[in-house]
Amino acid sequence: MIKVGIIGCGRIGQVHAISVAKNPACTLAAVFDPGTEQARTVADAYGCSVAGSAEALMHSADVDLVVIASPTDAHEAQFLGAARAGKAVFGEKPIDNNLARAHATVRALREIGAPVMLGFNRRFDRDHATLQAEVRAGRIGRVQSLQLASRGPNSVPSLKYLQASGGFYRDKCVHFLDLIRWISGEEPVEVVAMGSVLADRSVAEAHDVDTAAIVVRLASGALAHIDNARRAAYGYDDRIEVFGTAGVIESRRLHRGNVMRITAEGVQLDALPANSFERYGDSYAAALNAFVVKLQGAEVDIPGIEDGLMAQVMAEAATLSAREGRIVAIAEIMASLGIPARL
Amino acid sequence: MIKVGIIGCGRIGQVHAISVAKNPACTLAAVFDPGTEQARTVADAYGCSVAGSAEALMHSADVDLVVIASPTDAHEAQFLGAARAGKAVFGEKPIDNNLARAHATVRALREIGAPVMLGFNRRFDRDHATLQAEVRAGRIGRVQSLQLASRGPNSVPSLKYLQASGGFYRDKCVHFLDLIRWISGEEPVEVVAMGSVLADRSVAEAHDVDTAAIVVRLASGALAHIDNARRAAYGYDDRIEVFGTAGVIESRRLHRGNVMRITAEGVQLDALPANSFERYGDSYAAALNAFVVKLQGAEVDIPGIEDGLMAQVMAEAATLSAREGRIVAIAEIMASLGIPARL
Amino acid sequence: MIKVGIIGCGRIGQVHAISVAKNPACTLAAVFDPGTEQARTVADAYGCSVAGSAEALMHSADVDLVVIASPTDAHEAQFLGAARAGKAVFGEKPIDNNLARAHATVRALREIGAPVMLGFNRRFDRDHATLQAEVRAGRIGRVQSLQLASRGPNSVPSLKYLQASGGFYRDKCVHFLDLIRWISGEEPVEVVAMGSVLADRSVAEAHDVDTAAIVVRLASGALAHIDNARRAAYGYDDRIEVFGTAGVIESRRLHRGNVMRITAEGVQLDALPANSFERYGDSYAAALNAFVVKLQGAEVDIPGIEDGLMAQVMAEAATLSAREGRIVAIAEIMASLGIPARL
Amino acid sequence: MIKVGIIGCGRIGQVHAISVAKNPACTLAAVFDPGTEQARTVADAYGCSVAGSAEALMHSADVDLVVIASPTDAHEAQFLGAARAGKAVFGEKPIDNNLARAHATVRALREIGAPVMLGFNRRFDRDHATLQAEVRAGRIGRVQSLQLASRGPNSVPSLKYLQASGGFYRDKCVHFLDLIRWISGEEPVEVVAMGSVLADRSVAEAHDVDTAAIVVRLASGALAHIDNARRAAYGYDDRIEVFGTAGVIESRRLHRGNVMRITAEGVQLDALPANSFERYGDSYAAALNAFVVKLQGAEVDIPGIEDGLMAQVMAEAATLSAREGRIVAIAEIMASLGIPARL
């Protein structure tokens, strides 16, 4: 039985608490949040203790695995602290909003040698995982192009969130940049990004964009499209399509249910999920479970700390491309940071 | 916290154990099975005690709610025993394979006045429930016809199971006969059934059928079709469609996932679920939860013991219709048993 | 170039005129309709002559193939007259509303030996034809059950039409009774039908039904469901599903287009076709073309005059079943008319 | 009755001949092709004359409308010749592979004032047209992004064709560049394109690409993705999706039919069309008909000669972007040719 501690009891921290509760191989031992009341609520719901500090939780003998669900600026210290305390680390992205610091953290974590997993939960979506496995198995031949569309939910984060987010490319598109590498099994070569503010003025206030188009050229020459929007009037909409020399495969957009009505007013299907938590509900538990069974010795493919860094490198390239209106080579980002072309 | 005891630790008993484990409002207190080893396995997995007998479990002060997942011939005694012991009863159908005895049991349970729920889990399927709610809300106007198709899984029960089952109409079609009343909110008037053995010789050995067509005329004149088959080469296939004066609504067949591939070999969607447990997985937990929240005071619509009896009356009419090659009035079944035309 | 004459210039006659115009292997030579103006309009549109009478058209040297699109009570005389005049005959169903007279007509036509095709256009629908060919080729193994649903259009025929129609089973269900034989390649053994008036009072005035459920047992034991309604609030809705020992195949309901919108108001697909002419538009031309290429010597499967008679026998059985509330053997209908059990 | 002459009797010329034959408002008067035999075959099939030369056809008093379906290098002379002869001109794209010459042709045609339509038949596809009309009507609010995917057919043109084609961006992507303007009603601002050779070595021999990704920024800031491939192993695959502030709308990929089979081998839908002629069959006739009814005075939106030029400008920008690895402003292309920023 793996004993889990969670740092950060906001929405995503609570989602992880549910995943732990459902998982027969682990148990929730402790939680911490600077907002004591929130930590207490979670602790009461799952019958665990409240740690006095993040440090205390990391060093508790009752904790084997630390889930880091705190704000980004605490990540570096907590990733390293938990790893040095000999714990397994399951951390939310990004490693750090500053790419150089993220790189340094990755190098330090490698030296420590602790097991680390990045919370790229979309890799654990049932349909995306089917698609990835079949692409890798060659079902559609050699990959020629990828399309990753994601829009929603029907709300825009607060100005405060937007300002601390690192921008749309780093905050949201990064998920899809990770998926491109995971699905194709290839490294990126160059990136071009264009962004616009079309829907929400508050996004402009944060000097951010609400609509982004990215094209990534992969090492083989395959071309990946990302079509992302901050908000969708109709819920949460995600689809992936991969085209190759032998065919095409699509992880289709998901509806809330599978009911159709036909009346004089028209033909109506069930709505889309409201937000990413509804859309990707099961994937959070599947992600945590993958880490758990890996810690128990199983051979499982998980997003490691280097995957987190590479997704950030791609997001950095996209951010730069959009800012300077040019195609950006991945090598340029790597070189500017003194990172070798391949990690 | 409602303390649950489960009698019967076969497949369906184990499914209920999972539902209890997932449900934050109840806890598994005790299990019993004549096969002691099986009971022990379940008890170990969920950390509960093993009762020495069904009787002991029913009378245990540690048990508030008794789930009856035992073979049919034990149902009558256990339904009544648990109710008399002051427990809430969640029982698998049928009440008893003998309709007269089932009726007597219903009358006795009414006198005792215990809360009883029948395990018609399909009522708690996400999509079927959406369909039912919208039909009842008048979205498709007045109901004119219903189609309920169900086939699978890809195997036939053992000859022993078939011989004890009461026949296909009582064993499987009964689920859909229940759904007809639940969806339409109407009582049946007459039933015609035809059956054939087309796929599996072992079914003929049991003097049963593997393919059945039933039409039920409801009180309003609405006409319901049931198209059921014991086995489907391709998995488990369930769909419901209701047509009315203002439109049609369909709870569509469910696939295992939502991925499409297109290659030179053709266009391929994800397969269907393998069996009813995969198809209706979530509905078992939803069914138990409905009973739990009802016991806690919520207004919830659950299938009661009378619903179980009416479904059996319809199954009896279908069995008789198929045997005698004629349309059978529900009133005939009711009268022959001394049951009033309306329960 | 086959020269075609059309008797009857109402809606269906006009549909056939379009089919002739589109077909490069035939040309419209003459039309006749007692309503001279209607005949003139069609003749002008397609540049052909107007015959002075049905007789004159049948005997015209300018006509090789007579399309009979006149009211039912003229069918017997016109089928026989055209055949005796040495023409090929493409006739709309029914042969005659009186089954005995229809049988006599079939026998007379057989003696004459003229090529005759019945206008069961649904057999020529692209998707239904795919389904039939694959069922016959064994793709789903041996057939266990069939579902044929058809509802619409969004209007009820006039009282006058209803009174002359022979009733819903003979007028509309007959199309699906024909499809059952065609798809399965089997003869019917017994029929049970239930009908109701649920949507339109005018239908009751005509002593007819607007909702019908039919089950047909075929020679192999396979069971076919027909779910038909005179009117559908949402257009014209046709679907066929066939289940067998090796799988299931479905000719799915057709929408007007293939566009999906998702907004805050919901998820909307394109509407269904408005009526059978829109739904089955291309099948009319395909049906005529099949006859044309058969006359030119090709091996094509067409619905012959005996198919028309058998569909009427089944409709007669359904009508009797609904009236008398019992299962009717096909042999009973055959015997009562002195028709041998197999044509 | 509009009398049509067709110059060029290859595949596309024959498609136009069929469209004329089907259209009740026009008739095929004459055809011309340097390959006399091909012209003769078409003329015999439709009962028209064979002109002695393109010039003779253009000047024939028997011709009102000239369809130009000849090789690209003949377009300039024939567009201008037919227009000067007082004919209406329906011409296949491109106007000319040399953009400057295309621009000069447009200017000359404007002076002549003849009615001219470009053969962008995809604008007349049933589903694309529905999508465009609803986007323009504001159903999805203000446009934020567009996705246009097109791949296929399952073959690569000959090396000779590829070398004369002007390259993939000008030859195929140009259709989708046109659709972007038509759907959004907006002008392009900048274009970025990346291309690769991933599937077919013969394409590399022609110094062309077989896979292209293009992003176009429109005047409003909306971002359009084009994902095009020369060949698809599985047929012809086209889909369009437009996302806006109020929703998303999709013209979904089309299958050959609407039949589904489910067997132990999997779930199989009908294949995709084999090529663009099967996919867009009806749109050719609809395009010609739009021109015909416009000539007869109706208010119809057709792709004019300026639309053809703007699509070429965009294709030029894409070609340049791919070659130089940079984002190209539309204004740059316009300026380099002395074309004002807006036509």
Q: Given this model, what pLDDT does residue D337 score?
A: 81
One DSSP character per residue, D179-233 reads HHHHHH---EEEEEEEEE--S-HHHHHTT--SEEEEEEEETTS-EEEEEEES--T
- CA C21 to each of CA A328, B105, C232, D290: distance values in angstroms, whole numbers, following the listed order: 60, 72, 32, 21
CB contact under 8 Å between D141 and A233, yes or no, is: yes
**Residues of chain B above pLDDT 70, percent:** 99
Q: Given this model, what pLDDT does residue B342 score?
A: 59
* Per-residue DSSP letter, C154: S
Confidence of residue C336 (pLDDT cuts 50, 70, 90): confident
Q: Given this model, what pLDDT does residue C342 score?
A: 59
- A25: closest chain B residue by CA: B45
Residue that has been written with the tokens 């490693």 in this structure = A95
**Is the pLDDT at A341 greater than 70, yes or no?**
no
Cα gap B188→B208, rounded to integer Å: 24
Share the mean pLDDT of chain D. Answer: 96
Helix, strand, coil share (%) of chain C residues, nearest 5: 40, 25, 35
Here the tokens at position C27 are: 């040309």
CB contact under 8 Å between A260 and B250, yes or no, is: yes
Radius of gyration from C-alpha coordinates of chain D: 20
D233 interfaces chain B, CB cutoff of 8 Å:
yes
Chains touching B (at least 3 CB pairs under 8 A) are A, C, D
- Report how far Cα A185 is from the mean position of its chain's Cα atoms: 17
- CA C206 to each of CA C152, C158, C170, C313, D229: distance values in angstroms, whole numbers, following the listed order: 18, 10, 14, 22, 60
Q: Given this model, what pLDDT does residue A60 score?
A: 97
D241 interfaces chain A, CB cutoff of 8 Å:
yes
Distance from CA of B308 to the nearest CA of C (A): 26
Beta-carbon contacts of residue B193 (< 8 Å; ≥ 6 apart): B169, B173, B212, B213, B214, B215, B317, B318, B319, B321, B322
Of A233, A260, A267, the CB nearest to C263: A233
Confidence of residue A134 (pLDDT cuts 50, 70, 90): very high
**Is the pLDDT at A343 greater than 60, yes or no?**
no
Confidence of residue A197 (pLDDT cuts 50, 70, 90): very high
Q: Given this model, what pLDDT does residue D341 score?
A: 63
Of B130, B131, B257, the CB nearest to A126: B257
Q: Given this model, what pLDDT does residue B175 score?
A: 97
pTM of the model: 0.96
Share the mean pLDDT of chain B. Answer: 96
D108-136 tens-digit pLDDT: 999 999 999 999 999 999 999 999 999 99
Cα gap A270→A256, rounded to integer Å: 6
- A249: closest chain B residue by CA: B261
Q: Given this model, what pLDDT does residue A95 score?
A: 96
**Residues of chain A above pLDDT 90, percent:** 93
Arithmetic mean of pLDDT, B1-24: 94
CB contact under 8 Å between D271 and B267, yes or no, is: yes
A245 interfaces chain B, CB cutoff of 8 Å:
no
B48-74 tens-digit pLDDT: 999 999 999 999 999 999 999 999 999
Distance from CA of B264 to the nearest CA of D (A): 5
- B270: closest chain D residue by CA: D267
Residue that has been written with the tokens 């538990």 in this structure = A285
CB contact under 8 Å between D271 and B271, yes or no, is: no
Here the tokens at position B58 are: 């029913």
Share the mean pLDDT of chain C. Answer: 96
Q: Given this model, what pLDDT does residue D338 score?
A: 84
**Is the pLDDT at B334 greater than 70, yes or no?**
yes
One DSSP character per residue, B83-116 reads HHTT-EEEEPSPS-SSHHHHHHHHHHHHHHT--E
**Residues of chain C above pLDDT 90, percent:** 93
B250-274 tens-digit pLDDT: 999 999 999 999 999 999 999 999 9
Q: Give the CB-side neighbour count of residue B69, counting CA atoms within 13 A.
A: 23
ipTM above 0.85? yes
Q: Where are the beta strands (DSSP E) in B109-236?
A: 116-118, 143-151, 188-196, 211-218, 223-229
Phi–psi pair at D278, nearest 5 degrees: -75, -40
Using a CB-CB distance cutoff of 8 angstroms, which residues of chain C are in contact with residue B215?
A: 192, 194, 213, 215, 225
Arithmetic mean of pLDDT, C171-194: 98
B20 interfaces chain A, CB cutoff of 8 Å:
no
Arithmetic mean of pLDDT, B281-290: 95
Here the tokens at position C222 are: 């396979």
Of C194, C197, C215, the CB nearest to B213: C215
Arithmetic mean of pLDDT, D150-168: 94
Q: Given this model, what pLDDT does residue A338 score?
A: 84
**Residue C19: strand, helix, or coil:** helix
Q: Given this model, what pLDDT does residue B204 score?
A: 95
Confidence of residue C341 (pLDDT cuts 50, 70, 90): low
Instruction: Give me the numbers of helices (H) and strands (E) for chain B, helices first please.
Output: 14, 15
Confidence of residue A336 (pLDDT cuts 50, 70, 90): confident
A250-283 tens-digit pLDDT: 999 999 999 999 999 999 999 999 999 999 989 9
Distance from CA of B326 to the nearest CA of C (A): 6
Confidence of residue A297 (pLDDT cuts 50, 70, 90): very high
**Domains of chain C listed by start with CATH number:** 2-92 (3.40.50.720), 126-279+305-336 (3.30.360.10)
**Residue D343: strand, helix, or coil:** coil
Asked if the bond preceding B153 is cis, omega within 30° of 0, the reply is yes
**Is the pLDDT at A302 greater than 90, yes or no?**
yes
Cα gap A280→B4, rounded to integer Å: 32
Interface probe, candidates D263, D268, D270, chain C, greatest C C-beta count within 10 A: D263
Cβ pair D206, D212 in contact under 8 A: no
**Is the pLDDT at B343 greater than 60, yes or no?**
no
**Torsion-angle region of D266 (φ positive above 0: left; ψ -120 to 50: alpha; else: beta):** left
**Is the pLDDT at D178 greater than 90, yes or no?**
yes
B103-141 tens-digit pLDDT: 999 999 999 999 999 999 999 999 999 999 999 999 999
Using a CB-CB distance cutoff of 8 angstroms, which residues of chain B are in contact with residue D269?
A: 260, 266-269
Asked if the bond preceding B273 is cis, omega within 30° of 0, the reply is no
Asked if the bond preceding D94 is cis, omega within 30° of 0, the reply is yes
Confidence of residue D343 (pLDDT cuts 50, 70, 90): low
CB contact under 8 Å between B198 and C233, yes or no, is: no
**Could you tell me whether strands A65-68 and A88-91 are parallel, antiparallel, or unpaired per DSSP bridges?**
parallel
Q: State the burial class of residue A179 (Cβ atoms within 10 Å of its Cβ: 0-12, 13-18, 19+).
A: buried
A18-30 tens-digit pLDDT: 999 888 899 999 9
Arithmetic mean of pLDDT, C22-33: 93
D64-118 tens-digit pLDDT: 999 999 999 999 999 999 999 999 999 999 999 999 999 999 999 999 999 999 9
**Residue D243: strand, helix, or coil:** strand
Q: List residues bridging with A220 in a β-sheet.
A: none
Of B263, B269, B271, the CB nearest to D269: B269
CB pairs below 8 Å between B and D: how many?
46
